[in-house]
A = this chain, B = another copy of it.
Amino acid sequence: MQGLPRAIFPAAAAGLATFLFAAPASAEVTAESQFVFNSFSFLIHGVLVMWMAAGFAMLESGLVRTKNTAMICLKNMALYSIAGLLYYLIGYNLMYVDVAGWIGSFSFLYNPSDAELALINADEATPEMVTAVTDNGYSVMSDWFFQMVFVATAASIVSGTLAERIKVWPFLVFVVVLTGFIYPIQGSWTWGAGWLSEMGFSDFAGSTIVHSVGGWAALTGAIILGARKGKYGPDGRVNAMPGANLPLATLGTFILWMGWFGFNGGSQLALGSALDVAAIAIVYVNTNLAAAAGVVAAMALTQILYKKIDLTMALNGAIAGLVSITAGPDLQNHLMAIIIGAIGGGLVVIAVPLLDKLKIDDVVGAISAHLVAGIWGTLAVGIFGGGDLVTQVIGIIAIGAFVVVASSVVWLLLKVTIGLRVDEEAEQLGLDKTELGMEAYPEFGTGAQSM
């Protein structure tokens, strides 16, 4: 806009004419426009969340060692695929269809509504056909798409923690159960209008329902699977096993940050009114400020504690800030978002060495960034006035207990049947060579031998 105040609505110059010649008969969004806006919000925000799968893949590729890099790429590609298929086959129905308190419908597949198919296939649509579709507020498959990418996110959290030692097929079987059953069942309690929803549990975009769920599953797996050989010395020493490609980890974090605008923004679940889009804008701003505060807090804290900044802590600080704000990104005081994110970023710096003290081996820090910050973010909604603190605690405990128990059963069943862990020689050589027969970087350095 040439020569015009940029922050002032340019209608004066460009769009004003539209207003001048005819006052619209009604000023509100029409029902059909609202339907288009809402559905499109699910779709485009869903694409951003889908993109987070690539973010996790890059973050984890950067934080594992070269000898396990191709495998972590494969797991991330496979888990995103499996999550989508399972959520279509069974998961979505369990989570959203005919939820009776604590579980939805055990039915298969999920398809467009009859009203939508009738409209799409009509030779000539009637107003009644359009109304039958728009009455739902959004297209049913756009909602399916948006919910599907969320279940994939939960699964993505698990792969990083368990990297460098878990066998590929047992891991993928766990993903089947997590995305087909565990995630949808607990998800139905709140987002499917089940018992936690009735209690008033508040988790806007899933600090608990997505991130802690992934974190609990990862934690359970890490305990049952055990640490990588050599990670913890007999004398209590923690051996660093540094990630092989930090620019990729940085890229992954930026991707996650970008995707989070879809994750939190799309969770407004509507776009087609002034109220909704204004609320989404508030969500975007809080999401960005919390992540920024997480980075700065993690940097400052590592500088104070260790006299040096740590890049991977800064990256996890960003993620922790994002996870922290996810339960309540709709708060109307942006300063609070900065505080919540900063505390999340600080928690990561404390949680990572604490887990190492407990000899819980989390290759990428996902338990700290997703579980710890997820709990914090959910509590913060109670503390900062977006919900009842006791109810928030009940939700955190109930979901945590269910996921821990269910995951443990699956992990243990896998352990005693097909086995969970590669043998010691394979772990030493790296999963890329032993499980895939390939190398991620065949021409670079001598990773597998030297580390």
Contact = CB atoms under 8 A, between A and B. Distances in A.
A202 to B, nearest CB: 4
Interface in A267-309: 267-282, 284-285, 288-289, 291-293, 295-296, 299, 308-309
A181 interface: no
Given A85-B293, A139-B281, A269-B10, A34 B15 contact: yes
A19 to B, nearest CB: 8
A295 B138 CA distance: 30
A418 interface: no
Nearest to A119: B275
Interface in A378-435: 381, 386-387, 435
Contacts of A436: 308-311
Given A244-B441, A270-B11, A124 B17 contact: yes
Contact of A73 (B80, B109, B136, B250): B250
Contact of A127 (B21, B43, B82, B127): B21
Given A130-B28, A204-B1, A334-B109, A288 B39 contact: no
Contacts of A387: 2-3
A255 interface: yes
A268 B288 CA distance: 23
A51 interface: yes
A245 interface: yes
A291 B440 CA distance: 23
B43 A44 contact: no
Nearest to A8: B193
A35 to B, nearest CB: 5
Nearest to A242: B442
Interface in A63-78: 65-66, 69-71, 73-74, 76-78
B21 A24 contact: no
A163 to B, nearest CB: 13
A292 B85 contact: yes
Interface stretch (A53-61, A225-233, A353-361, A366-374): A53-61
**Main SS at interface, chain A:** helix
A314 B172 CA distance: 14
A83 B34 CA distance: 35
Contacts of A451: 443
A111 B241 CA distance: 44
Contact of A22 (B6, B26, B191): B26
Contacts of A197: 3-5
Contacts of A238: none
A11 to B, nearest CB: 6
A276 B15 contact: yes
B269 A9 contact: yes
A157 interface: no
Nearest to A381: B2
A21 B42 CA distance: 26
A344 interface: no
A126 to B, nearest CB: 6
Contact of A315 (B33, B47, B77): B77
Contacts of A30: 24, 26-30, 33
Contacts of A85: 289, 292-293, 296, 338
Given A15-B273, A248-B251, 13 more contacts: A18-B29, A18-B273, A21-B125, A25-B26, A32-B274, A66-B443, A74-B314, A78-B314, A84-B288, A88-B289, A111-B333, A139-B281, A141-B284
